């Protein structure tokens, strides 16, 4: 290998800068090297426009990692459940999201009750 252009594929698993976007701009666009990447959930929307022309695949957040593990397990049965950390993490993440939704609902219910109490008071 003499340079970056000699690579057959670049995979960037990153959050922040420098990261996947810089690989797209400097390796993918300039040198036409195939790219794939993984990123955080909040960073994923900025990469959607690059798929599938400038990046071959995008694994976004824990959900994307769990989907990758499931696909890997289907294609390679020797990939055991003990190796599936992202899949195991989906349960706690779902529970945390439900708690957040519950707090939003409680906050909105409190707001409505406070407004009703103000209307009733003279």
Q: pLDDT tens digit string along 37-65?
A: 999 999 999 999 999 989 999 999 999 99
pLDDT of 75 reads: 87
Number of domains present in the structure of the chain: 1
pLDDT of 114 reads: 96
- Per-residue pLDDT, averaged over 111-118, amounts to 95
pTM above 0.85, yes or no: no
pLDDT-derived band at 29 (thresholds 50, 70, 90) equals confident
The answer on pLDDT for 93 being more than 90 is: yes
Residue showing tokens 């960037």:
12
The domain of 16 spans 4-87
Query: Closest by alpha carbon to 68, among 52, 57, 78?
Result: 57
Pseudo-torsion of CA 5, 10, 14, 17, nearest 10°?
Answer: 10
Domain-located, residue 83: yes
Domain-located, residue 110: no
Percent of the chain with pLDDT over 90: 64
Domain-located, residue 74: yes
The mean predicted confidence, pLDDT, of the chain is 91
Domain-located, residue 47: yes
Concatenated DSSP letters of 38-49: EE-TTTGGGTGG
Could you read off the pLDDT of 1-24 as tens digits, one per residue?
788 889 999 999 988 889 999 999
Domain-located, residue 75: yes
pLDDT of 90 reads: 95
Domain-located, residue 16: yes
Distance in angstroms (rounded) separating the CA atoms of residues 63 and 73: 15
Domain-located, residue 99: no
């Amino acid at each position: 290998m003499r340079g970056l252009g000699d690579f057959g594929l670049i995979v960037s698993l990153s959050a922040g800068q420098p990261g996947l976007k810089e690989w797209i701009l400097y390796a993918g666009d300039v040198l036409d090297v195939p790219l794939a990447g993984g990123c955080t959930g909040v960073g994923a929307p900025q990469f959607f426009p690059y798929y599938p022309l400038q990046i071959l695949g995008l694994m976004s957040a824990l959900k994307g990692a769990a989907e990758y593990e499931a696909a890997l397990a289907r294609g390679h049965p020797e990939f055991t459940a003990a190796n599936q950390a992202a899949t195991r993490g989906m349960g706690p993440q779902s529970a945390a999201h439900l708690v957040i939704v519950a707090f939003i609902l409680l906050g909105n219910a409190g707001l409505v009750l406070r407004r009703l109490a103000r209307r009733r008071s003279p």
